[in-house]
Amino acid sequence: MDQHDPPSHADGQIAEPGARLRVRPLVSADLPDLIRIDRESYTPELRESEAAFLSKLVLFRAGALGCFDGDQMCGYAFALPWKAGTLIGVAQVLDALPADPDVMYVHDMVAAPACRRRGVASTLLGEIARVAEALHLSRFELVAVQGSEPFWRQAGFQAVETFEYVPGVAATKMEMTV
């Protein structure tokens, strides 16, 4: 999903992956870009609703992250402190975090098609790891879809089970402890 040869500068020097990328918390004004990237990246069954995006953004702002190159949103992630073994559904609107979370749940992370292979996913995952560390959460869970399992395996996640996330869509539940 995010592996690549580093881009080169006009002078022939190799640029570091993610060198120009910056991550910041998402705000409601980012919603049009979130929806655009979601629609460009996911099959219809896996798309989030505006209400679902906003609920996660409001509920846990530290885990609602956008990755930017200048003013261009290149990708986003939604990660929340959660209960192990409890999935968050596609387009699920959340109204509360669990009182005693024990994992960082990576609900959604995607690089815009035009920005793939530039380190966007790795940059976002690094920021999610920093947020989890600040919360003293060393375990991560997620649901890998659309062939993203190799990226997550390379990042250190292990497959736990395969299942149907939404009707007709195969997925892999994955986890990692650091």
Name 112's Cβ contacts closer than 8 Å, sequence gap at least 6: 36, 37, 40, 41, 73, 74, 75, 120
Mean pLDDT to the nearest integer, 10-26: 63
Decide if pLDDT at 2 tops 70. Answer: no
What is the predicted pLDDT for the residue at 11? 30
CB distance 86 to 102 below 8 Å: no
Give the mean model confidence (pLDDT) for residues 124-150.
97
* C-beta separation of 151 from 1 below 8 A: yes
- Max CA-CA distance within the chain? 53
Q: What is the pLDDT of residue 30?
A: 97
Mean pLDDT, range 3-7, rounded to an integer: 32
pLDDT for 18 equals: 52
Which has the closest alpha carbon to 118: 72, 175, 156, 62? 72
State the average pLDDT for the chain.
90
Confidence class of residue 19 from pLDDT cuts 50, 70 and 90? low
- CA pair distance 62, 131, nearest whole angstrom: 7
Q: Which of 136, 80, 71 is nearest to 108 (CA)?
A: 80
How is residue 92 written in tokens? Answer: 């699920």
pLDDT band at 12 (very low <50, low <70, confident <90, very high): very low
SS3 69: strand
SS3 31: helix
In CATH terms, the superfamily for domain 21-177 is Gcn5-related N-acetyltransferase (GNAT) (3.40.630.30)
Spatial CB neighbours of 38, under 8 Å, sequence gap ≥ 6:
47, 48, 53, 110
The predicted-structure confidence for 56-106, as pLDDT tens digits, reads as follows: 999 999 999 999 999 999 999 999 999 999 999 999 999 999 999 999 999
* Average pLDDT value for residue range 37-45: 96
Reply yes or no on whether the pLDDT at 8 is more than 60.
Answer: no
Q: What are the boundaries of each domain within the chain?
A: 21-177
pLDDT tier for residue 13 given thresholds of 50, 70 and 90: very low
What HEC string does 101-130 produce?
CCEEEEEEEEECHHHCCCCHHHHHHHHHHH
